[in-house]
Amino acid sequence: MSETESKLSPDHVIGVVGLGYVGLPLLLAYARAGFRAIGFDIDPAKPEALAAGRTYIKHIPDAQVAEARAGGQLEATTDFSRAAECDALILCVPTPLDEHFEPDLSYVVATIESLAPHFRKGQTVSLESTTYPGTTDEELVTRVQAAGFEVGTDLHVVYSPEREDPGNPDFAATNIPKVVGGVTPACLEAGVALYGAVFDQVVPVSSCKVAELTKLLENIYRAVNIGLVNELKIAADRMGIDIWEVIRAASTKPFGFKAFYPGPGLGGHCIPIDPFYLTWKAREFGVHTRFIELAGEINRGMPDYVIHRTMEALNSRGKAVKGSRILLLGLAYKADVDDMRESPTFALLDGFKRLGAEVAFHDPHVPVVGPTREHMDWAGTQSLDWSEENLRAQDCIVISTHHQAFDLLQLAAAADLIVDTRNAMAGVATRSGQVVKA
């Protein structure tokens, strides 16, 4: 793509690297727009599924994949040498934290180094992975230059943070405004052209650092407000006040208030992780982000609070956690999706197991636990069948995710004790003392 091009032509080839919850919707968007779209992933199961016209993400139907395949627009491969065929390469790979809550850029670095031998003049390379300000310059630009390309002339480098919300019926990939920053003005022009081809609105900003910090601000805003309401929940519980009623009442104010809701902890690929990318980078500049770190401490402590409330509830019935049968409803981190990344339910499973409980989970969207980076000991564990017999057999049922598929009336009829972390049982007729909020 040259400096003067302001839009993509139909013969441009778009490559998307990393075919997960961010990459696959983006790949399909370009295919639907008529571009030849090539997906890259190190997991051979993903290209194999797409080649067969099948999806592996619940909220993306098989029909979307099959249609793109039938039209000849979509391919997927593990062969990174085919990056040379692409006019644009969009990197959508994980950026987790290590055991010290510091950024782990190993996936980003490995991906760039795998692609670098296949870069060619005229390409646009975009990083979408959430990260700290300066990553694009420090990790991507330096490697592009080391490969012998002049950024802004030979090859265009941009940063455009992903804003996917898996399972959100109102916002799919292309109707969410797309923030784009470029290393040079020519890079920014190329990035606007790349994303303007499929997104309804593109929001250009002055630099990659601005775009990088924009994504962190969005998720820090949520993390801090969720931390606040989680702390208020604990205080309200001690005072005998229903925090959910308080939030409903506060939400009637037509200005100056936005509702956030408590839960058993934070999950997903963004909110539990992204704030720590900024706290880590801020230390380089002598800044201690105490507010952000406090919110993270509160949110990480919520599973322990739920476990403590469950212990209290069982004790009130003369039962110990050790030896009790405890069923967790919901392994996915949010309602009605199959995404279990960073789910606080794993912390609950670990905590109850450590205390000697016979713990299981039920999730209609996650029939079996797949491989995860941090909870490999649960891999292969199957979801307990939903049945009246299984519900009655539990000493306690903990609602950790409020899936619409749960039959709450049957749950209320069958369960002896329900610990509700999501206010799911509000409006359901229950017996006195049957439901404990946590």
Which residue ranges form the domains of the chain, and what is each CATH number? 13-208 (3.40.50.720), 219-260+269-300 (1.10.1040), 303-438 (3.40.50.720)
Residue 422 near residue 402 (C-beta atoms within 8 A): yes
Q: What is the pLDDT of residue 422?
A: 97
Rounded-to-integer distance, Cα 232 and Cα 226, Å: 10
Contacts 24+ apart (CB under 8 A), 18-21: 18/91, 18/92, 18/93, 18/94, 18/107, 18/111, 18/129, 19/43, 19/46, 19/47, 19/50, 19/76, 19/92, 20/57, 20/92, 20/94, 21/57, 21/164, 21/166, 21/269, 21/339
Q: List residues with catalytic annotation.
A: 270
Q: What is the pLDDT of residue 59?
A: 85
Q: What is the pLDDT of residue 168?
A: 79
Residue 362 near residue 386 (C-beta atoms within 8 A): yes
Please choose, from the candidates 359, 362, 366, the residue with its C-alpha nearest in 3D space to the C-alpha of residue 341: 366
Rounded-to-integer distance, Cα 143 and Cα 48, Å: 30
Q: Report the predicted TM-score, pTM, of the whole model to 2 decimal places.
A: 0.89
Please choose, from the candidates 132, 133, 135, the residue with its C-alpha nearest in 3D space to the C-alpha of residue 112: 135
Structure tokens belonging to residue 77:
């491969």
Rounded-to-integer distance, Cα 344 and Cα 266, Å: 6
Residuewise pLDDT in 10s, the chain (438 residues): 443 345 788 889 999 999 999 999 999 999 999 999 999 999 999 999 999 999 999 889 999 999 999 989 999 999 999 999 999 999 999 998 887 788 899 999 999 999 999 999 999 999 999 999 999 999 999 999 999 999 999 999 999 999 988 777 788 778 999 999 999 999 999 999 999 999 999 999 999 999 999 999 999 999 999 999 999 999 999 999 999 999 999 999 999 999 999 999 987 666 777 788 888 899 999 999 999 999 999 999 999 999 999 999 999 999 999 999 999 999 999 999 998 988 999 999 999 999 999 999 999 999 999 887 778 889 999 999 999 999 999 999 999 999 999 999 999 999 999 999 999 999 999 999 999 999
The DSSP call for residue 326 is E
Q: Is the dihedral of CA 392, 398, 399, 400 positive or negative?
A: negative
Residue 384 near residue 330 (C-beta atoms within 8 A): no
Q: What is the pLDDT of residue 5?
A: 46
Rounded-to-integer distance, Cα 323 and Cα 404, Å: 30
Rg (alpha carbons) of the chain, rounded to whole number: 23
Structure tokens belonging to residue 157:
């480098």
Residue 346 near residue 375 (C-beta atoms within 8 A): yes
First to last CA, the chain: 55
Please choose, from the candidates 308, 329, 328, 311, the residue with its C-alpha nearest in 3D space to the C-alpha of residue 320: 311
Q: Is the dihedral of CA 61, 20, 266, 158 positive or negative?
A: negative
Specify the residue for token string 């694009």.
Answer: 136
Q: What is the pLDDT of residue 6?
A: 54
Residues 6+ away with beta carbon under 8 Å from 373: 96
